Every structure is written in structure tokens, then in C-alpha cells.
């Protein structure tokens, strides 16, 4: 293992056999956390080839069990490479299921400055993210969708490496990201995938070219496993939605699907509709955007969310009981002008800290890039018991004296 670390430190590519032996040794205990962390850091410094990423994916899939779904109907999964205020999975999974797609989603926890779907779902009282393989399969077949955490037997190597990457600052490695994402998808048993790769200041792939390359890697690794895949590259120069935290994002997803207090417009809606449309296409279901919009407006998507929540041990009442503080603190603009940029990483980290102290703590963004604000106007609202953690967030917003154009949410798709 020391030799493998040294070779990667010097910029060499490790073979498929090397990665297989490394993962097997890590799971057996002959490779310890310190050695694996050192290898991840070497990968951060020196990069990984596509073949290394594919070999690591295969080794991680082989580290545990895999799920196989019965029947001819296509099972679809959707995954984001990690974003701030990204509620798309929480909305897209039940909305696609309401349109007739079977959705089997294995999700992860927060990584770096980004939120984790599992952490968000656990703020719903009674919600069980730890489904057995049989329970996961049965729910997908009966309800039409399930979102669950990796079990101890599904890609256990990824679960351990994922935790190390978060603790050691080695998250933004293309090969590690690709292997982590696709290994969970393959083990989860879906036949087709829709990937959402974030780029910009808040994405792990901040450079657009790197994000497009990662999107291509995800699609090609999936293809090598015999799966169909589509990838979107989307803009994370600002938070996708309005809320940043855990429970506060569940509230936003719930209100989105229930069209309360009114149908949500803007970046979230644009991306959700495109993602779900792609999920329908992957499943061979006709109707496209019109069918998705009808399921949203009729409330069918919200009812499917409630059905999923109830199937996983909670209730409609528990979901609807979540409420943010009615008297948040205000992050006010010190200048009049147009919002030119945001420090998305800083905002994401602040939201995570606030949620650690209060399940419905976090931030709500009040201004978007391109918006005009007056001096003293709210840029964000701070919720929760630890509001001092976000006291200096005004400087996370850059205000310009000249007009700024809004940023498009979807950069490309393939």
C-alpha cells in the first residue's frame, strides 16, 4: 500500500488490479484509514485517469451486495454531484413516480459544504432512511419510489471512503466523485440514470470544462456497466433554491410539491421539470414536460411524497408539522446595486452549521444574482438558535453598481 501511495504521489496511474487490492485490503483492515486518506490526498494532488475511476467503481460495487429489480419496467435513479440548496432529488423522485416512473434512489449524507439528502429526510419525525434491501425493493415496486441510505451491505467501501474524504478535505477529485456516484447507482439496481453535475463557485467541479468531463465520465462508466444515462451540467454560482440547511430544505421541497403558498418559479422549477422529463424519457414514458407539469399542478407529486414518507415510517402530519422560525434574523445589504456574485461555499457551510444546532435552522436566500437591492434590503434570512454563526454573511454577497444579468441554471445536457 505504501508503494501504491508513493506511485500515485509521483503521478502514476494505478492498475485495475491495484485498485481492486486496495479496496479489498481497506475492507479487510490491512489498509488503514491513514493510508487510504493519504491515497485520496495523492489523488487530489495528481488526479486520476478514467480507467482508474472505472476500476475503483468496479471494486467498490464488488465490496458488497447489489440489488436486482423484478419485472420489465425500467427503474430509474437521479443523482446530483453535490450542490447548495439543492432540493431537486426530494422533489423529482416523488414527482417522477407520480408520472409512472419507478424510482430507486440511494442517497448520501452531507459532503463538504453541500447538503445531504439523507440528512434532510431524517428531520422528518419518524422517517426511516435505513431500509433493508428487501424493504427497499418492495417499496419501489409497491409505492413507485424510495429514497434510502446505503445499507451496510451495499457498496460499504464507498461509505467508508466517502466519510474519509469529507473529513480530510479530499472531496473534489473527479475520479473519486465519479466512482462514488456510479457505484451507488449500480448497486442500487436502477436500469437508467439521470446525473446532475454542478459547476461554478459552489460545485466540486468549479471549472466548466472539468464538469463536462465528469458528466462524460459518469455516462461512460454507467454504459460500461450496461446502463443508460443522461447528464446535465448545471450552474452552482449561486444556491439553486432559496433554503440552505436540512429541515428547512424539506419545508421548501414540501411547499414546492404542494404549490404552497403558490407555484414556485425560477431556477428550481426549471431544473426540476427538465430532470423529471429526462427521467420519464429514460423509463420510456411518453408525455414529457406536459405530463410532469400536470402531476405537479394536480397535487399528484405531493401525494406521492406523502405516500413515500408514510411507507418509510413517518406520516403526513409529521411532514406538515415542520415549520421554520417566524422571526428570523436579517442579513441586510450595506449598499444599493445589483447582486453580482455569491460565496456559495460560505453560504453552504453556514447553513450546515445552523442546521447542526436546530433541525429547521439554516438560511433562506432573499436575493439572486441579477437582482437589484436597496441599501438595507434583505439578502438572506437566518433561522435557528445559533444565529451568531451567520452574523457576517453580508460580505458573502457581492453588490455591483451596474446591471448584472441573471445566470442560466442549465449549462448543457448530454
Q: How sure is the predictor about 385, in pLDDT bands with cuts at 50, 70 and 90?
A: confident
pLDDT at 262 over 70: no
Phi, psi of 222 (to 5 degrees): -60, -45
For this structure, is 196 an active site residue? no
Question: Mean pLDDT over residues 143-166, rounded?
Answer: 91
215 and 110 part of one domain: yes
Helix (H) or strand (E) holding 315: none
Looking at 281, 300, 320, the residue that finishes a domain is 320
Q: State whether 245 and 286 are in the same domain.
A: yes
Q: What mean pLDDT comes out for the span 14-21?
A: 97
**Angstrom distance (rounded) from CA 239 to CA 101:** 28
Residue 264 has pLDDT above 70, yes or no: no
**DSSP class per residue in 180-217:** HHHHHHHHTT-SEEEEEEEESTTSSB-SHHHHHHHHHH
**Helix (DSSP H) and strand (DSSP E) numbers for the chain:** 16, 13
* 38 and 102 part of one domain: no
Indicate if the pLDDT at residue 179 is higher than 70: yes
Do residues 130 and 274 both lie within one domain?
Answer: yes
| Chain centre distance of CA 135 | 23
Active-site residue 357, yes or no? Answer: no
139 and 233 in a single domain? The answer is yes
Please state, in angstroms and as integers, the Cα–Cα distance from residue 201 to each residue in 232, 387, 396, following that order.
Answer: 17, 24, 12
CA diameter of the chain: 60
First to last CA, the chain: 38
Using CA atoms, how far residue 145 sits from 81, 94, 258, 290, 310, in Å, is: 21, 7, 18, 21, 12
**Residue 169 has what DSSP assignment?**
T
Q: Which three cell numbers stand for residue 191?
A: 436500469
pLDDT range class, residue 261, cuts 50, 70, 90: low
Contact 67, 139 (CB under 8 A): no
Annotated catalytic residue 304? no
Number of independent structural domains in the chain = 3
The set of residues, in sequence order, having a beta carbon less than 8 Å from that of 102 and lying 6+ positions away, is 69, 73, 74, 75, 76, 140, 141, 144, 145, 283
Beta bridge partners of 145: 103
Q: How confident is the model at residue 25 (pLDDT cuts 50, 70, 90)?
A: very high
Nearest Cα to Cα of residue 127 among 151, 105, 152, 146 = 146
Gap between the Cα atoms of 353 and 385, Å rounded: 11
**pTM for this model (two decimals):** 0.91
Q: Which of 18, 158, 196, 358 is catalytic?
A: 158
Do 115 and 141 lie in one domain? The reply is yes
**pLDDT class of 150 with cuts at 50, 70, 90:** confident
- Location of C-alpha cell 419545508: 251
Examine the domain organization and report whether 312 and 344 are in the same domain: no
**Domain region containing 398:** 329-406
Closest CA to 148 of 160, 161, 163, 132: 132
- Output b/e per residue, 316-350; b: 16+ Cβ within 10 A: eeebeebebbeebbebebeeebbbbbbbbbbbbbb
158 is a catalytic site residue:
yes
Last residue of some domain: 320, 352, 370?
320
Residue pair 271/410 in contact (Cβ under 8 Å)? The answer is yes
Q: What is the CA radius of gyration of the chain?
A: 21
> Do residues 156 and 27 lie in contact, with contact meaning Cβ atoms separated by under 8 Å?
yes
Instruction: Give the active site residue among 184, 227, 254, 346.
Output: 184
Among 208, 240, 189, which residue's Cα sits nearest to residue 77? 189
* pLDDT: which is higher, 93 or 149: 93
pLDDT reported for residue 263: 57
Pairwise CA distance, residues 65 & 139, whole Å: 18
- Catalytic site residue from 107, 180, 258, 314: 180
CATH number of the structural domain spanning residue 313: 3.40.1030.10
Q: How confident is the model at residue 162 (pLDDT cuts 50, 70, 90)?
A: confident
State the catalytic residue, choosing from 58, 105, 159, 165.
165
Say whether both 216 and 189 belong to one domain: yes
What CATH number is given to the structural domain containing 376?
3.90.1170.30
Same domain? 224 vs 294: yes
**Domain-terminating residue out of 47, 67, 84:** 47
| Alpha carbon 118 to chain centroid, angstroms | 10
For the segment 224-241, the average pLDDT, to the nearest whole number, is 96
pLDDT digits (tens, 9 = 90+) for 104-133: 998 888 877 888 999 999 999 999 999 999
pLDDT at residue 206 tops 80: yes
pLDDT of the residue at 390: 66
Q: Is residue 63 part of a domain?
A: no
**Cell matching residue 263:** 407555484
The predicted structure's pLDDT at residue 161: 95
- Catalytic (active site) residue 105: no
8, 78, 79, 242: which is the annotated catalytic residue?
Answer: 79
Please tell me the distance from the alpha carbon of residue 90 to that of residue 118, in angstroms, as a whole number: 10
Q: Residue 196 pairs with which residues in a beta bridge?
A: 80, 232
Q: Answer for the pair 376, 332: CB distance below 8 angstroms, yes or no.
A: yes
Amino acid at each position: 500500500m505504501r508503494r501504491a501511495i508513493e506511485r500515485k504521489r509521483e503521478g502514476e496511474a494505478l492498475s485495475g488490479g491495484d485498485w481492486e487490492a486496495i479496496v479489498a485490503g481497506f475492507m479487510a483492515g490491512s489498509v488503514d484509514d491513514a493510508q487510504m486518506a493519504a491515497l485520496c490526498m495523492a489523488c487530489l494532488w495528481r488526479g486520476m485517469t478514467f480507467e482508474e475511476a472505472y476500476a475503483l467503481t468496479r471494486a467498490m460495487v464488488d465490496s458488497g451486495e447489489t440489488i436486482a429489480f423484478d419485472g420489465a419496467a425500467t427503474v430509474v435513479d437521479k443523482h446530483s454531484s453535490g450542490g447548495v440548496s439543492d432540493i431537486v432529488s426530494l422533489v423529482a423522485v416523488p414527482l417522477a413516480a407520480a408520472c409512472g416512473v419507478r424510482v430507486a434512489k440511494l442517497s448520501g449524507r452531507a459532503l463538504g459544504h453541500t447538503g445531504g439528502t439523507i440528512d434532510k429526510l431524517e428531520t422528518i419525525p419518524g422517517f426511516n432512511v435505513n431500509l433493508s434491501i428487501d424493504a427497499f425493493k418492495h417499496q419501489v415496486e409497491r409505492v413507485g419510489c424510495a429514497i434510502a441510505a446505503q445499507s451496510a451491505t451495499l457498496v460499504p467501501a464507498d461509505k467508508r471512503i466517502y466519510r474519509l474524504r469529507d473529513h480530510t478535505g479530499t472531496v473534489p477529485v473527479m475520479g473519486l466523485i465519479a466512482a462514488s456516484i456510479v457505484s451507488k447507482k449500480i448497486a442500487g439496481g436502477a436500469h437508467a440514470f439521470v446525473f446532475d453535475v454542478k459547476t461554478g463557485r459552489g460545485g466540486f467541479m468549479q471549472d466548466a470544462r472539468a464538469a463536462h468531463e465528469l458528466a462524460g465520465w459518469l455516462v461512460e462508466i454507467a454504459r460500461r456497466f450496461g446502463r443508460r444515462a443522461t447528464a446535465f451540467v448545471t450552474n452552482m454560482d449561486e444556491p439553486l433554491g432559496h433554503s440552505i440547511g436540512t429541515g428547512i430544505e424539506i419545508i421548501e421541497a414540501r411547499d414546492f410539491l404542494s404549490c404552497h403558498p403558490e407555484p414556485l418559479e425560477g431556477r428550481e422549477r426549471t431544473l426540476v421539470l427538465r430532470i423529471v422529463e429526462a427521467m420519464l424519457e429514460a423509463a420510456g414514458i411518453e408525455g414529457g414536460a406536459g405530463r410532469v407539469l400536470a402531476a405537479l399542478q394536480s397535487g399528484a407529486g405531493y401525494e406521492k411524497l406523502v405516500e413515500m414518507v408514510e411507507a418509510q415510517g413517518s406520516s403526513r402530519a409529521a411532514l406538515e408539522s415542520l415549520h421554520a422560525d417566524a422571526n428570523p434574523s436579517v442579513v441586510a445589504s450595506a449598499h444599493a446595486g445589483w447582486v453580482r456574485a455569491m460565496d456559495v461555499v460560505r453560504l453552504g457551510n453556514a447553513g450546515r452549521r445552523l442546521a447542526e444546532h436546530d433541525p429547521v435552522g439554516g438560511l433562506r436566500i432573499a436575493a439572486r444574482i441579477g437582482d437589484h437591492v436597496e441599501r438595507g434590503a434583505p439578502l438572506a434570512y437566518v433561522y435557528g438558535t445559533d444565529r451568531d454563526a451567520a452574523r457576517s454573511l453580508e460580505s458573502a454577497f457581492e453588490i455591483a453598481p451596474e446591471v448584472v444579468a441573471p445566470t442560466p441554471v442549465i449549462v448543457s445536457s448530454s
